Chains A and B, each alone.
Chain A
Amino acid sequence: MEKVKSLIKIKPKKYKDGEVVKVSFMVMHPMETGMRKDKKTGKIVPAEYINSVKFDYNGQVITTMNVWESLSANPVFTIYMKINGAGKLTVSFTDNTGAVNETSTKIKPKG
Chain B
Amino acid sequence: MQRRDFFKKLGTVVAVSAVAPMMSFAADEKKPKGPNEFSYEKAVEAITDGKGAKTSSKITLKVPEIAENGAVVPVSVTVDSPMSESDYVKAIHIFATKNNNSRCLAVHLTPANGKAMIATRVKLGGTQEVAALVEMSDGTFLTASQSVKVTIGGCG
Chain A positions near chain B (C-beta within 8 angstroms): 20, 31, 33-37, 44, 47, 54, 56-57, 59-73, 75-82, 84, 92, 96, 102
Q: Whole-angstrom distance between the alpha carbons of A106 and B107 in the complex?
A: 23
Of the candidates A35, A61, A70, A92, the one whose C-beta lies within 8 Å of that of B2 is A92
Q: Whole-angstrom distance between the alpha carbons of A20 and B115 in the complex?
A: 7
Chain B positions near chain A (C-beta within 8 angstroms): 2, 5-6, 9-10, 12-14, 18, 21-22, 25, 33-36, 71-73, 76, 96, 99-110, 112-123, 154-156
Given the complex, which residues of A lie within 8 Å of B36, measured CB to CB? 68-69
A81 with B113: CB separation less than 8 A:
yes
B123 shortest CB reach to chain A, Å: 5
Kindly list the 7 A-B residue pairs having the minimum CB-CB distance in the complex, ordered from nearest: A82-B114, A20-B114, A80-B115, A78-B119, A72-B121, A62-B112, A61-B9
Given contacts A79-B118, A82-B113, contact A66 B9 (CB under 8 A): no
Given the complex, which residues of A lie within 8 Å of B117, measured CB to CB? 78-80
Given contacts A44-B33, A63-B113, contact A54 B122 (CB under 8 A): no
B118 shortest CB reach to chain A, Å: 6
Given the complex, which residues of A lie within 8 Å of B34, measured CB to CB? 33-35
Given the complex, which residues of A lie within 8 Å of B122, measured CB to CB? 70-72
* Inter-chain residue pair count (beta carbon < 8 A): 135
B109 with A70: CB separation less than 8 A:
no
A65 with B108: CB separation less than 8 A:
yes
Given contacts A68-B36, A70-B101, A70-B123, contact A61 B113 (CB under 8 A): no
A72 with B113: CB separation less than 8 A:
no
Q: Whole-angstrom distance between the alpha carbons of A84 and B155 in the complex?
A: 41
Q: Whole-angstrom distance between the alpha carbons of A82 and B5 in the complex?
A: 21
Q: Whole-angstrom distance between the alpha carbons of A70 and B22 in the complex?
A: 16
